[in-house]
Amino acid sequence: MLTLAIGPLWSATPSASANRQAVVDVSMAWFDKLWDERAALIWEPSSTGAPNWSTHLVRSSAWYAFGLLARDAPGDRDRAARLLDSVLKQQIMAPGQPWDGTFYRKPEQAHLPLFPRMWDDYDPNWRQFIGCAFALSLHEYPDRMPADLASRLLASISRALDGEIAQARLSPDYTNIALMQAFLLDFVGEHLGRPDYTRQALALAEAVHAGFNRHHAFEEYNSPTYYGVDFLGLVLWRKYAASARLRTLGAELEAALWRDTADFYHAGLRNLCGPYDRSYGMDMRRYASLLGLWLRLELPAHTAPFPPLTERPMAHGHDFFYAPVFAVMGTNIPKDALATFRTFSGPRLVVRTLPRGRTATAWLDHHYMLGGTETKVGRGAGGPHNQLHPATVHWQLPDGGIGWILLTDSSRLDARASPGRLSIKAIGDAVFRLNAPGIEPVRVTGTSWRLPGLSLEVTHDAITVEFKAGDGWVDATYRSATSFELIIAD
């Protein structure tokens, strides 16, 4: 098998290197199967993991190109050059418009409508994601691509930065994008002799650092996916920045974020405890989260919070395209945090004061964990794209799997976790999803949830309670409720 030489990383013991190589080999083999020779891009995977033959992915093609340059097998350089050229052609040229310098998400998009809507018709953040793929390729493998292609990649990053700067939309608390933007400003400032970019990079980095230090937390808090992007940005600072100050800040923040993440992590359940500011799933063992991918590159399969590498389709599988990128970059998990990711150290209560008057709490016990966010009844559950999860429960099922409970819908609420208890104040209706294979709907009542492997007593002041059952789940809707106590009964 042709392998990607990931090189010596900070903890590159023989077993760790072999683990990373296994992840990269599987990921690249999958990406190879999605390659479209005619379009010089990769197909979007279908629900089965095979190409869907109708649409291509632009951002993921840029990450695949990096993996090809890193693997450097016969033909890889040519394919990578073609991919990068195809991605370059997807950059939008629209001076003065909010979308100037970003990229089409799919070439089939063809053009923007007369009045484009951010997020629906274009994604401004493609500037940073694709820009970082270009910059990493230039940093690591400038000798593996034609000189004219390298020049065009650098010019493309510069155009993306100019388009972003003209909009003045980025604030330091938009963490994952701000981290990448600071790196790209530093990168282009160094390579094109732009001291204005260099000054902006340092100013943005200092602002991000100051924001973190106020609460020892980022604004986007406890996200299994976006923490993965945060680590990407911080490693870019630490390892690749031209500015010594940026490298120092990157190392400091990377270590601090790993330690905070470890406090919320349950090694026995192989999951990050809630609450989640942004999450695409409730069981990291069943979908590809970027935090899970970082840990899968450090931990063996049976202890990592990541789906089996052979599983197709892999939920949220497009994030698996980061595997060769993360492997080459390498992270630097402090030894004390790494020990927590490997072994559950015992029950603990975690309390964090967050920006905007919020407080996150988590209780991690031997076979279950609870998470809650207090917002002074200022935020609800779900939020944009249903990613905000302020009240969560996880536990171990009798078969070793993971069951979970999520408050999926509530207009405004507060939730606080404590030993064996999740206390919730709410306004209006509240909907809980109880998810566990083998659940018996008849054992779920308004005041008692008897679930496989876990029982809870529920106190509440709802006027009525309604239930809806599906395959392995029950939705419990409490009408006009203002308070709940979920109490672990066993």
Residue 346 pLDDT: 95
Threshold 0.85, pTM exceeds: yes
Residue 357 pLDDT: 85
Decide the pairing of beta strands 421-435 and 473-479: antiparallel
Look up residue 272 and give its amino acid.
Answer: L
Whether the per-residue pLDDT at 35 is higher than 90: the answer is yes
The highest-level CATH class for domain 14-342 is mainly alpha
Whether the per-residue pLDDT at 16 is higher than 80: the answer is no
Mean pLDDT of 56-77: 97
CA distance 311 to 44: 17
Residue 410 near residue 380, CB atoms below 8 Å:
yes
% pLDDT > 90, the chain: 82
Backbone angles phi, psi at 456, to 5 degrees: -130, 145
Residue 377 pLDDT: 54
Mean pLDDT of 434-456: 96
Residue 110 pLDDT: 72
Listed range (153-157, 345-349, 407-411, 455-459) with the worst mean pLDDT: 407-411
Whether the per-residue pLDDT at 12 is higher than 50: the answer is no
Residue 317 pLDDT: 87
- Per DSSP, the three-state class of 434 is strand
Whether the per-residue pLDDT at 347 is higher than 60: the answer is yes
Which segments of the chain belong to CATH 1.50.10? 14-342
Residue 316 pLDDT: 87
Look up residue 275 and give its amino acid.
Answer: P
pLDDT tens string 247-256: 999 999 999 9
| pLDDT classification of 318: cutoffs 50, 70, 90 | confident
- Per DSSP, the three-state class of 281 is coil
Residue 9 pLDDT: 34
As to burial, measured by CB atoms within 10 angstroms (0-12 exposed, 13-18 middle, 19+ buried), residue 160 is buried
Mean pLDDT of 448-467: 96
pLDDT tens string 210-250: 999 999 999 889 999 999 999 999 999 999 999 999 999 99
The Cα angle at residue 251 between residues 66 and 321, in degrees rounded to 5: 25
Listed range (43-47, 135-139, 359-363, 435-439) with the worst mean pLDDT: 43-47
Residue 425 near residue 413, CB atoms below 8 Å:
yes
CA distance 201 to 189: 8
| Joined tokens for residue 453 | 């492997």
pLDDT tens string 109-130: 878 998 999 999 999 999 999 9
Cα-based distances in Å from 227 to 110, 406, 413? 32, 20, 24
